[in-house]
Chains A and B, each alone.
Chain A
Amino acid sequence: MPNIKELEDLTTQVRRDIIRMVHKVNSGHPGGSLGCAEFFVSLYQDIMDRNESFDMDGINEDLFFLSNGHISPVYYSVLARSGYFPVEELNTFRLINTRLQGHPTTHEGLPGIRIASGSLGQGMSVAIGAAQAKKLNNDDKLVYSLHGDGELQEGQNWEAIMYASGKNVDNLISTIDLNQQQIDGSTDDVLPMGSLKAKFEAFGWTVVDIEKGNDITSIIDGLKEAKSLTGKGKPVCVLLHTVMGNGIDFMMHTHAWHGKAPNDEQLATGLAQNPETLGDY
């Protein structure tokens, strides 16, 4: 298991990957990707019990589903750096004939991806189905999912949230990226959602808050707590309090970089703030 310093170094490298990927094609979603870099690194490098080789059915291993598929840059970077495909392939992000489509898909056969996502609000239902398949298969491994906070404005989530507790899907840990930003502004400006903690609890979930959602130690501790709460009849929600654009000062605390690529100068600034650790792709 890598130590915290190694995970932090990996996170720095992932940040470099993210902004280099979106800069090259002048498109993509760096803000939410950067905000979740520590989460992805912690999940794939420490928390999940996963097999080295990829198999779609994922029997006897933990599974992860990304519902807010637009943060594909962080997903691709961490998958590549976790050994699912060559890191050089990050060079092909969003280019014609790539397996690294703008939004993640199974369609091009990229190892690590088990469902297409992009149209929001669908991932929790899929994660529930996979979790129920694990129960049918007497497979005691867990299913993880990640969702944007703005994404919870999609109604299908609440069908899924109601179902998961009503049917005791207690091998599911769904994390909400609580960065309080969405494309048109802050979530409070666009559509106030009130207390998500109160809402999930009212729907019968156990809720774990990770206040420092960009601190690897806090994330690992919080996810370990979430794991300890599985198997007790209730699904587990992790509210991950993050900063959008984390790690690159001019991208932080704003929705402005939701779906915008840095220019050459901005890229240089961002890279200077995140010196190369494991080697660029």
Chain B
Amino acid sequence: MKTYTYTEKKDTRSGFGAGLAELGRTNPNVVALCADLIGSLKMNEFIEENPDRFFQIGIAEANMMGIAAGLTIGGKIPFTGTFANFSTGRVYDQIRQSIAYSGKNVKICASHAGLTLGEDGATHQILEDIGLMKMLPGMIVINPCDYNQTKAATIAIADYDGPVYLRFGRPSVPIFTPADQKFEIGKAIKFTEGTDVTIVATGHLVWEALEASKVLNEAGISAEVINIHTIKPLDDKAILDSVAKTGCIVTAEEHNHLGGLGESVARVLAQHNPTPQEFVATNDTFGESGTPAQLMDKYGLNSDAIVKAVNNVIKRK
């Protein structure tokens, strides 16, 4: 079995910052907006190099989404930056009408998604954003897994003409994907080949899935780990091809099981190939204060939880 290691950890939001900085050098139409969270979003480098192409909006996210929509009229490619909670729930109607329904080329870049925001607690830990955004017609939804993939995704979405939701996080996590990767929207990545179970993971849970696969391998279970970085459009074929071989699936995400990746996968399976599925996700709950590791353990979002889910789903085959 192919195994993955890492030598460095970094936060995915820094991958966004690095990607944005590179876009600042390569694409003169890219502009950035922020609602008073420059440091948290790692936007400093872009701003230092392109002060005229940066718009500090202040603490006014609704206004930011509208201004971003307006900036597209005139050929700009706006990247908005704030926490995931304030990028989605707070401004849903602005995104729905002025961006999604209006078909505007805005990139909604959202940091501090999920429980791993940590100590600030549930007011800031959105676990519903994937669901909110994937329900909007025409919205692309991406949740990359490490620094390199987030940087590559940030660069790639500038070349796509249309609204995109890019979700990333706060904590330092292992870097295990290549620095020179080409990011393809909607294209799943198979990390390990397996025959007994398919594990489909997104965001911070991809590394946890790889860790789980090592434990499972030692127990004689061959897991196929697939990284779904694009929740919408979903790579149906990659999922269906894999379950045709393994006969069962575990989905893993830092999100509510209602509305998340798992539900999207379940829809595809129900339609084309009903398959036993277990969900590693939060169970219709808000988060709370704590360290990221404590929270991911308490809410069952780590490699241990994935191993348990695999053992359960294999029994259902």
CB closest chain-B residue, reference A143: B70
Q: How close is A47's CB to chain B, nearest CB, in angstroms?
A: 19
The answer to whether B67 has its CB under 8 Å from any CB of chain A is yes
Q: A136-B52, A159-B60 known; A105 and B67 CB under 8 Å? A: no
B66 touches A156 (CB 8 A): yes
A126 touches B103 (CB 8 A): no
CB closest chain-A residue, reference B100: A116
The answer to whether A107 has its CB under 8 Å from any CB of chain B is yes
The answer to whether B173 has its CB under 8 Å from any CB of chain A is no
Q: How far is the CA of A167 from the CA of B56 in the complex (A)?
A: 9
The answer to whether A175 has its CB under 8 Å from any CB of chain B is no
The answer to whether A132 has its CB under 8 Å from any CB of chain B is yes
The answer to whether A122 has its CB under 8 Å from any CB of chain B is yes
CB closest chain-A residue, reference B67: A129
Selected from A117, A119, A128, A133, the residue in CB contact (under 8 A) with B75 is: A133
* B57, B73, B75, B94 pick with most chain A CB within 10 angstroms: B73
The answer to whether A181 has its CB under 8 Å from any CB of chain B is no
CB closest chain-A residue, reference B91: A156
- Cβ contacts under 8 Å, B160 to chain A: none
The answer to whether B127 has its CB under 8 Å from any CB of chain A is no
The answer to whether B220 has its CB under 8 Å from any CB of chain A is no
- Cβ contacts under 8 Å, A7 to chain B: none
B97 touches A125 (CB 8 A): no
A119 touches B97 (CB 8 A): yes
The answer to whether B124 has its CB under 8 Å from any CB of chain A is no
Q: How far is the CA of A155 from the CA of B57 in the complex (A)?
A: 15
The answer to whether A274 has its CB under 8 Å from any CB of chain B is no
Main secondary structure of the interface of B (DSSP, over half): helix
The answer to whether A106 has its CB under 8 Å from any CB of chain B is yes
The answer to whether A258 has its CB under 8 Å from any CB of chain B is no
A133 touches B71 (CB 8 A): yes
- Cβ contacts under 8 Å, A134 to chain B: 74
Q: How close is B138's CB to chain A, nearest CB, in angstroms?
A: 9
- Cβ contacts under 8 Å, B205 to chain A: none
Q: How far is the CA of A105 from the CA of B103 in the complex (A)?
A: 10
A163 touches B97 (CB 8 A): no
Selected from A65, A119, A159, A160, the residue in CB contact (under 8 A) with B93 is: A119
B103 touches A125 (CB 8 A): no
Selected from B62, B70, B97, B103, the residue in CB contact (under 8 A) with A133 is: B70
* A65, A118, A131 pick with most chain B CB within 10 angstroms: A131
Q: A159-B60, A163-B57 known; A129 and B70 CB under 8 Å? A: yes
Q: A126-B67, A159-B60, A159-B62 known; A133 and B74 CB under 8 Å? A: yes
**What count of chain B residues pass the 8 Å CB interface test?**
32
Q: How far is the CA of A132 from the CA of B65 in the complex (A)?
A: 14
Q: How far is the CA of A133 from the CA of B31 in the complex (A)?
A: 10
Q: How close is B112's CB to chain A, nearest CB, in angstroms?
A: 22
B66 touches A129 (CB 8 A): yes
A57 touches B73 (CB 8 A): yes
B73 touches A129 (CB 8 A): yes
Q: A136-B53, A156-B66, A160-B66 known; A58 and B102 CB under 8 Å? A: no
The answer to whether A94 has its CB under 8 Å from any CB of chain B is no
- Cβ contacts under 8 Å, B74 to chain A: 57-59, 130, 133-134, 136-137, 139
The answer to whether B63 has its CB under 8 Å from any CB of chain A is yes
A125 touches B102 (CB 8 A): no
The answer to whether B40 has its CB under 8 Å from any CB of chain A is no
The answer to whether B170 has its CB under 8 Å from any CB of chain A is no
Q: A-facing mask of B56-99, CB < 8 A → 1, else 0?
A: 01101011111111111111101000000000000001101110
- Cβ contacts under 8 Å, B78 to chain A: 129
Q: A129-B73, A132-B71, A136-B31 known; A116 and B101 CB under 8 Å? A: yes
Known: A115-B98, A159-B60. 18 other contacts (CB 8 A): A59-B75, A105-B102, A106-B101, A116-B98, A117-B97, A118-B97, A122-B97, A125-B65, A126-B66, A128-B67, A129-B73, A130-B70, A133-B70, A134-B74, A160-B63, A160-B66, A163-B58, A167-B55
B interface residues, Cβ below 8 angstroms from A: 31, 52-53, 55, 57-58, 60, 62-76, 78, 93-94, 96-98, 101-104
List 5 A–B pairs whose Cβ atoms lie within 8 Å, in order of A's numbering. A105-B101, A105-B102, A115-B70, A115-B102, A133-B72
